[in-house]
Chains A and B, each alone.
Chain A
Amino acid sequence: MIAGVSTFIVLALIVILVPMAPGWEAVQKSFFNKEVFLKTFPKLLSAFWLDVLIFLWCAPLIAILGLAIALCRDVQSPVLFPLRIFGAVYTDIFRGVPVVLTVYLIGFGIPGLGLPRPYNSPYIWGSVALVLTYSAYVAEIFRSGIESVHKSQRAAASSLGLSNSDVMRYVVLPQAIRRVVPANMNMLIALQKDVALLSFIGPVEIFRQAGVFKSLLANFTPYVGAAVIFLAVTIPATRFADYLLAKQNRERS
């Protein structure tokens, strides 16, 4: 009850006070222009489909590569030590470089080596850049999951005669992956927004389409439209991640 009233008061204050600011009319005209919104929204929505597609083909690749890197970092055999180093260097580099830079460098750089069309497509190399960056993050998440499985379980499984790889496959990973699902949901939400970075190297997805409308109409409303579309997807996804996390906490306690 009290919470309800205070929320209402805050909202009312915003609704009443913001329009009283001297520049409100101008801001409304260039950010919340109904006419522009209606005119551009359908095209933004169809441009968003491209984001969805890029997301759909990147996400599984990220999961696979991320897991592979995480496993690299966990190898026990001294012969395979170079793999550990590779895993560490990989995560350091791709977590350390801003995504946009990776998108630029790989999206323009590798095709610049002289690949013929269609293998020089910005869709391919932009996606590669996203996959490389995100799999570095996801690898660290998987690694934390793998390390959260107590060492005694590995010892127990080994003593039952399971090989190292079987221990990983049947004992550690099933628990590890389940534990990091909420954390990975967060990565998916972040990826879903970062897909828009591909627009820097050519593809006309929602962010670029909004930019085109912006300069055509000299109005920022298309960006608001794009934000609305993103929110329509990310808010349910975030709530779902929260739900998974809460469920997991309940199960553990």
Chain B
Amino acid sequence: MNTKLSILSGLMLSALMLTPAHAGENKCATGLTVKEGVLTIATGNPAYFPWVIDDAPESGQGFEAAVAYAVAEKMGYDKDKVEWVRASFDQSIQPGPKDFDFNLQQFSITEEREQVVDFSESYYSSPMAVLIRKPTMEAGATATMDSLKTLKWGAGASTTALGFITNDIKPDSDPLLYDDVANVTEALKAGQIDAGLFDLPTALFTSAVLLEDGVVLGQFPAELATNPDQFGLLMSNDNPIKPCVDEGVRRIKEDGTLKRIEAEWLQETTDVPVIQ
């Protein structure tokens, strides 16, 4: 099933690449890239499912890998003109020249961050979702704010989830914070926290693959979020390439490519209950 799926998506991707109209037509980034003639794209190390499959963005498998290639193509870079590097969040916000043209790893666009780096138009907008384990559910946790307040929370320290926990959920005890999704999951397994807050696709993946008894308890209605999570491609500050990248994102939105990629890589999320 999986291999079939990846072959299929590989075919789809190459079909996209071959569409004659685009390649070479739009050279708005010429002379502006880090490395002449190629587009250098960064992602996390490791990059997680379903954003990048098997930590191999070169394959174009996974939502962000596919988005990266689609944007690159609209900017006039064929698949073989794209190079990948890895860069952490810290490396991305440190001052000084960067070794990538843009970086995508579920970076939420925030006003504060925009003072230091540039973001493209958003390519995905994700609701926050609550991940718990069955024992917590059996102990009576429900998808209501009152119930959520009583849980012990955990989240990734460099995500926007923390602000959401402290400002919107306002739990009875202080949340614990971790470096990445893997560590939050470990703390869930160890019973040190009851619930983790993630973007919905990550929560769905973690519950399905990393946890044996994971349950996505619910997702937050978009209007509740003080700061709905919008993912953008991150670029160094005042990067002249920004208009070109924005244009690329706009075009994959307009011609339906983005919708198609989303449908292909991100699970159907409508069956996750909305938190009251």
Contact = CB atoms under 8 A, between A and B. Distances in A.
Q: Which of A199, A208, A216, A219 has the most CB of B within 10 A?
A: A216
Contacts of B113: 217-218
Interface residues of B, number: 34
A111 B157 contact: no
Contacts of B154: 202
B192 A122 contact: yes
Contacts, number: 92
Q: Which of B163, B177, B193 has the most CB of A within 10 A?
A: B177
Interface string B163-195: 100000000001111110001001101111100
Interface stretch (A79-87, A113-121, A143-151, A228-236): A113-121
Contact of A208 (B93, B116, B157, B160): B157
A202 B193 contact: yes
Secondary structure of the A contact surface, majority rule? helix
A29 B179 contact: no
Interface string A183-221: 000000000000000011111100010011011111110
A200 B158 contact: no
A26 interface: yes
A248 interface: no
A202 B93 contact: no
Interface residues of A, number: 32
Given A111-B191, A211-B157, A202 B95 contact: no
16 contacts: A30-B94, A202-B154, A203-B176, A212-B162, A212-B177, A214-B93, A214-B158, A215-B157, A215-B159, A216-B112, A216-B163, A217-B112, A218-B110, A218-B112, A218-B115, A219-B116
Interface of A: 23, 26-27, 29-31, 108, 111-112, 114-117, 120-122, 199-204, 208, 211-212, 214-220
